[in-house]
Chain A
Amino acid sequence: AQSVTQPDIHITVSEGASLELRCNYSYGATPYLFWYVQSPGQGLQLLLKYFSGDTLVQGIKGFEAEFKRSQSSFNLRKPSVHWSDAAEYFCAVGAKGGGNKLTFGTGTQLKVEL
């Protein structure tokens, strides 16, 4: 069965600073990988996804993520954080042929200091 680990429960960065949120997955083959963002009291918005091909994927709001098979990681990055990026970020893995079941990490809460 697949699993996802987000090692950082909370991260605080200053506005304008760079950001990296870590995500490690466990799965026997090449997984499908996703990052979602949840603002307070809101639903989940898809930031970006990886299915195959180029291991560096670009998403919305200036985010990008890099799939590293050797490290079983899919870390989310942003070069310059804005105060509006403060939210909960979830990494998720989907299994090919798994009936489209998404397994989520426990989330990383991002705070942005002005």
Chain B
Amino acid sequence: DTAVSQTPKYLVTQMGNDKSIKCEQNLGHDTMYWYKQDSKKFLKIMFSYNNKELIINETVPNRFSPKSPDKAHLNLHINSLELGDSAVYFCASSLGLAGEQETQYFGPGTRLLVL
């Protein structure tokens, strides 16, 4: 009965490769997010989608492309991976965008290591 799930949990890959991380939530939420946590554990939002529509894009390189096939899924595709992309990527979801609906619930994270 996992609320927000991510696959894979770990991802080790070579520079220049293309990879995807998948996120699914079974909470019936309308809004989903991607955050990046760097090696110093600093968390920063990358994207958010509401009802499959992009609402936040925090100056993330074009190599990162989120895709939301439906409200329950938000996938993150990364092209031409660089060493600096090594981080933990967290997916989150919230009921909506107003008031207490904004409470965000996080997935377990995907640990990406680029060699």
Contacts and interface: CB of A to CB of B under 8 A. Distances in A.
Interface residues of A, number: 23
A100 B31 CA distance: 9
- Secondary structure at the A interface, as helix, strand, loop or mixed, is strand
Contacts, number: 59
- Interface size class, chain B: 20 to 34
Contacts of A49: 100, 103
Interface stretch (B12-20, B59-67, B73-81, B106-114): B106-114
A99 interface: yes
Interface of A: 32, 34, 36, 38, 42-46, 49, 51, 88, 90, 92, 94, 99-104, 106-107
Please list the 6 inter-chain residue pairs (A to B) with the smallest Cβ-Cβ separation, ordered nearest first. Answer: A44-B106, A43-B108, A104-B43, A43-B106, A100-B102, A100-B97
Interface of B: 4, 31, 33, 40-45, 48, 50, 55-56, 58, 90, 92, 94, 97, 99-100, 102-109
